[in-house]
Amino acid sequence: MTTTTVNPVLRAAPAPPAEAAAHFRASLAFHADVSDVAAALAADGDPGFVLVDCRSTESWDQGHIPGAVHLPTALMSEQAGRLLDPAVPVVTYCWGPGCNGATRAALALAELGYRVKEMLGGFEYWVREGFAHETWQGTERRAADPLTAPVDAGECGC
C-alpha cells in the first residue's frame, strides 16, 4: 500500500471561480482595511461613514483614531441611537487581529439596523502603519513598522 502526501494548501480543492468571486465580493462588503480607512478619512470632504471605536474607556484614553466615535460594545444597544445616524454606514474597530470586539460591535449594530463594516487590523495596525492617533495627552504618531506598513505612503499596491 502506498500513501500519498497531500499538499496542506490544496487539502480541500479551491472553489470554482464563480463561487470564489462571490465569496470574496461578499468579504469586501463586510471588511475594510486600515489603509483604505485612513485614505478615506484624509481625503477632502465626507468619507461617507463614521468610524466607531468599540473598546473600553481606558483603551480609548490610551489611544484612538482621530475623528472616531467612542462607543463600547457593551453600550451599543443603549447609546447607538444617540451617537450614530442610521443613514450613515459605520466602520468598527477594536484593538487588533487578536480581538473580535469589532466583530461583536458590528453584529450589535447590524442587529440595530445599521449598515456596518469591520476595519481589519484594528487600532494596532493603525499605529503600526504609522498613522496619527490621539491619546489623553494629545496627538501621537509612531514610525511605521516596516513589516506591516505600506511601502508607498499609505498604499500597499494591492
Q: What is the pLDDT of residue 156?
A: 61
pLDDT (tens digit, 9 = 90+) per residue, 71-103? Answer: 999 999 999 999 999 999 999 999 999 999 999
Residue 32: Cβ within 10 Å count:
20
Averaged pLDDT for residues 138-148: 88
When pLDDT is cut at 50, 70 and 90, the band that residue 3 belongs to is low
Which residue ranges make up each domain of the chain?
A: 31-140
Q: Which CATH number fits domain 31-140: 3.30.420.40, 3.40.250.10, 3.10.20.600, 3.40.50.850?
A: 3.40.250.10
Phi, psi of 85, rounded to the nearest 5 degrees: -85, 120
- Are 71 and 84 contacting, i.e. CB atoms less than 8 angstroms apart? yes
Residue 84's nearest CA partner among 51, 55, 57, 59 is: 51
Q: Does 49 have pLDDT greater than 70?
A: yes
What residues have CB less than 8 Å from 112, skipping those under 6 apart?
76, 77, 80, 81
Residue 143 has, within 13 A of its CA and on its CB side, a CA count of: 3
Q: In what helix (H) or strand (E) does residue 138 lie, and over which residues does it extend?
A: strand 138-140
